[in-house]
Amino acid sequence: MTVAVETGLWQLDPAASSVQLRHKAAWGMVSVKGVFTSVRGQGEVRPDGSATGTVTLDATSLDTKNPKRDAHLRQADFFDADNHPEIVFTVGSAKRLDGGAVRVDGRLTVRGVTRPLSLTGRLAEVGADSLVLEAEFTVDRTDFGITWNQLGMLAKPSTLITRLRFTRAAA
């Protein structure tokens, strides 16, 4: 049985949401992991069941548990956070598929470069006043001008693991 998601406006619950990053380094021998500690967003579910919205990450909030690396990631070699403080995913459409899957098509903006991004997530929880969308997908950092790669140590794709909890916005 498919549970309907209520139409209307939905607000991201940052305290119950997470966006994690995993990236292979040291020629694939080390997996660098981090979490964006500042995330916000909103969406709208339309009467036909489709959805639109945005998810915004503070580029300076990536925490890999290594302050020196985190400072480098904020610099121009990577996120260039002084000039591009936000990473934004704008959802053009999100449609439910069979089995709780959700097809999400949108545009990802990193360092002022915008590229199309499509992914398949899943509705992990659906209630009258909240829903949780989970997804794991890869992004090629070079598509966004992040080309720093000392001695070829870094892989091109980064994996993002998201768990986004939305609550119905007050009318």
Domain harbouring 90, CATH code: 2.40.128.110
Q: Which of 65, 63, 61 is nearest to 86 (CA)?
A: 61
The CA distance from 171 to 6, in Å, is 13
Helix spans in the chain (H):
67-74
Residue 1 placed within a domain: no
Token digits for 160?
Answer: 């993002």
> 165: number of CA atoms within 13 Å, CB side?
11
pTM comes to 0.90
Q: Total structural domains in the chain?
A: 1
Could you list the residue range(s) of the whole structural domain that residue 83 is in?
8-168
Sign of the Cα torsion 21, 106, 89, 132 reads negative
Task: Using the predicted structure, report yes or no on whether residue 27 has a pLDDT greater than 60.
Answer: no
Q: Could you tell me how far CA 156 lies from the centroid of its own chain? A: 17
The radius of gyration of the chain's CA atoms, rounded to the nearest angstrom, is 17
Residue 40 placed within a domain: yes
> What pLDDT score was predicted for residue 44?
95
Task: Using the predicted structure, report yes or no on whether residue 169 has a pLDDT greater than 50.
Answer: yes
The CA distance from 1 to 14, in Å, is 29
pLDDT digits (tens, 9 = 90+) for 35-80: 999 999 999 999 988 899 999 999 999 999 999 989 988 999 889 9
